[in-house]
Amino acid sequence: MLTSEHSIVEYKAGLAIPDRLTQKTHRHYMDHAEKMLSVYRNGIGRQRRGLHRQIEKLFADEPDCPVRRIQAFCKLLDDSSVFQTDPSGRAAKLRLEVFSKAACFHPLVQQPDRLFEHDEKKVKSQLADKLGTSWDQIEQSLYVDVIAFQQLQEFAGYSDPGALLSRYNVAQLQACLYRAESMTIMATSDLKTILRYAKLARLLHEIVRLGPSKYRIDFSGPASVLRETRRYGINFAKFLPALLACKGWKMVAVVQTPWKAHASLSICDADGFTSHLPSPQEFDSSLEESFAKKFGPDRDGWQLIREGEILHDRQKTFIPDFTFRHEDGTQVLLEIVGFWTPEYLARRRETLLRFRRHKILIAIPEKSLREGANVGEDVLVYKTALKLKPLMEALERIRAARVHSDSK
């Protein structure tokens, strides 16, 4: 994805209009895209900075291409690449060793004389001999921990030039949403798919049923989240391709302008954006995934069901993360809160109160609790991961209460 620095947005008459390449205006960009892909396909072993410079040269005579657009193309190409890295820190150690040994020869010159007598080539050759390798190898390894000097190892690329340009258009939409305070989706189709990806991304949302097969989903945006704003913003942007792959929806987001005003970003399923729908594994669902793996398909007579049922109470709608069903028929719902604001937690409590006829457990992060907060018996508190022991105790408590009630 792009960062905020790559975002190109025009604010006009209260509207936010992200940069978009169109067939009508930018048909010639197909040729640029093919050449960009060729640079990276043929660039194995080249440094990142060299690849970027070659991309910049492709647009040297293009009058309609701001610098940010070129930088955005480089970022998208980099995202489909694998570059050499240095997780062990060998480059830093090598630099220290090379510079320490070379310090006594400073300064090095290409044409030595009486005043400056240390020949650069000879000194480099001596250093290479001491280190038991060639200077070319030293030069390749000296800065591999610096992003600009990393060498391209693999390039997955894009299926064709059109796929790269389509990805650019979606990426600019995503970057614009980093500034979103709120987002509202009107959905008439594919509701379960939209909600599945929203929940995988742990987005703060409320659902209102407007009529048969018609829902309004209200999301809190990155600009409204009090904690972990950057991480939430990334998840918010990741959700967009999933939405674009669905049918029967309209989205309106309220975004902050650089001048602290507000503008509206509006798109729908008929606007022609092409999704590169990512797999669920690409979403930040580690909390949910790790918990499901720990629990297993069944445990002590309880079965975990990932597909939550849709609950309705007049216009209010609630879809839990998990359903637990015991072999004796007891059913308990679980909602896991990841990102949060005090206002969101308050609204969630109100929602759970409305659906109190269902047995619902809610798991909330410890850091969301105020000092001295009264934690109810149906609330599970976790630090980084939800523990099985308190969950199983809560499930058995609810089951025991049901059995006791049925026996009366």
Are 314 and 211 spatial neighbours (Cβ–Cβ below 8 Å)? no
Q: What angle do CA 262, 263, 266 make, to 5 degrees?
A: 145
Is residue 263's pLDDT more than 90? yes
Tokens 């090379």 belong to 98
Instruction: Report the pLDDT value the prediction gives residue 107, as an integer from 0 to 100.
Output: 87
Compute the chain's Rg from CA coordinates. Answer: 28
List, for residues 298-323, the tens digit of each pLDDT value.
898 998 887 666 777 777 777 787 88
- Answer whether residue 283 shows pLDDT above 50: no
pLDDT value at 106 more than 50: yes
Tell me: pLDDT of 91 over 80.
yes
Domain ranges across the chain: 1-9+19-84+150-173, 90-145, 178-283, 285-407
- pLDDT, residue 294, reads 84
Q: Are 250 and 268 in contact (CB under 8 A)?
A: yes
Please, which residues have CB within 8 angstroms of residue 131's CB and are 6 or more apart in sequence? 97, 98, 138
Give the CATH architecture of domain 285-407.
3-Layer(aba) Sandwich (3.40)
Q: What average pLDDT does the structure give for the chain? A: 86
pTM of the model: 0.76
- pLDDT(220) > 90: no
Residue 334, classed as helix, strand or coil, is strand
Share of the chain above pLDDT 90, in %: 39
* Strand runs labelled E in 146-261: 152-155, 180-187, 205-211, 214-220, 249-256
Query: Which of the pair, 286 or 396, is modelled with greater confidence?
Result: 396
Residue 44 has pLDDT above 90, yes or no: yes
pLDDT of 162 higher than 80: yes
SS3 287: helix
Give the residue ranges of DSSP H helices in 42-66: 48-58
Between 385 and 179, the more confident residue is 179
| pLDDT at residue 287, rounded to an integer | 61
